[in-house]
Homo-oligomer: A and B are copies of this chain.
């Protein structure tokens, strides 16, 4: 198995001006799950029937491009969201400043395209086209996410559309691109894409659930952060759809409160419990997981496809 962390560590950022490249090195060295390059590579392995691709060099540049792109979005999103900590370390705009985060972020996006330019020439036009569609989806998703903050009424449907754009299209195209470079048939490409799309939405729903119900020891961030800042998660949107007038009034009251953090988290969680919000969201989560799993029937049965099955199944019991 290709060691993605090692490959990322080998990217060379020892270039001038340091003020531009140091924040890129800092961001890419900060870890993360490397989910996107892994998905691209597993997708490639799945369609070449579990064996090793003759030269993994063909898939690697695109896989790395997807990771660099993802990290670019984090750097710019953190500026826009004024987030101070990411992966346990200061965000770029805090450690340096906003201008550095903007410009180094821009350069990261360009670096992603530099990696993409290494895709074998016959496959480059299609991969570039998909990559651009993916990048557009992510920006559109971030725009909707920012707009939702200031909207009173957001439907669960709108929310699902937003996370599909902001999170899932990147996973979906990671799989399609990885598979395509490895020679997937159009039907396999579509299955890989749909798997990624559905698992991405399931992943985000699980994230929302864990923010309230996760184990603080393993979750890695403070529990209840979304409740504190009234983030429009699927849990909150589900609770707001309740027809229980008393619960709704209580919820709206807490939404207006910006003090009493601990009390707010406890009260809103109790309300979620009373309304069965967690269970309702888990039903939706399982729907998307099932849709992802169903796509695997269109792929060869091999160890890579098995890994994809386990990934989808583990989603439902993820704790961090």
Contacts and interface: CB of A to CB of B under 8 A. Distances in A.
B117 A125 contact: yes
A76 to B, nearest CB: 6
B117 A139 contact: no
A293 to B, nearest CB: 31
Contact of A143 (B103, B113, B144): B103
A17 B17 CA distance: 36
Interface string A95-135: 00011001101110110011011000100110011011001
B20 A139 contact: yes
A79 interface: yes
A144 B17 contact: yes
Copies of this chain assembled into the complex = 2
A90 interface: no
Contacts of A76: 102-103, 106
A139 B107 contact: yes
Nearest to A131: B113
A32 interface: no
A206 to B, nearest CB: 26
A134 to B, nearest CB: 9
B128 A110 contact: no
Interface of A: 16-17, 19-20, 76, 79-80, 98-99, 102-103, 105-107, 109-110, 113-114, 116-117, 121, 124-125, 128-129, 131-132, 135-136, 139-140, 142-144, 146-147
